[in-house]
Chain A
Amino acid sequence: MRKRESGHAMIELAASAAVMLACIAGTFEFGYTFFVYNQLVTAVGNGAKYAATRPWSARDTEKTNTAIRNLIVFGEPEPAAGAQPVVAGFTPENVDINWTVEAGKPQAVAITIRNFTVNAVFAKFTFSGRPGVEFPYVGSAK
Chain B
Amino acid sequence: MGTPCHFALFELKPEFELDLAHLADRYRELARQVHPDRFADAGESEQRQALERSANLNEAYQTLKSPSRRARYLLAIEGHEVPLEATVQDPAFLMQQMHWREELEELHEQADLDGVAAFKSRLKQAQQGLNDDFARIWQDSERRADAERLVRRMQFLDKLTQEVRQLEERLDD
State yes or no: do A and B come from one complex: no
Task: Give B residues with C-beta under 8 Å from A.
Answer: none
Task: Give A residues with C-beta under 8 Å from B.
Answer: none
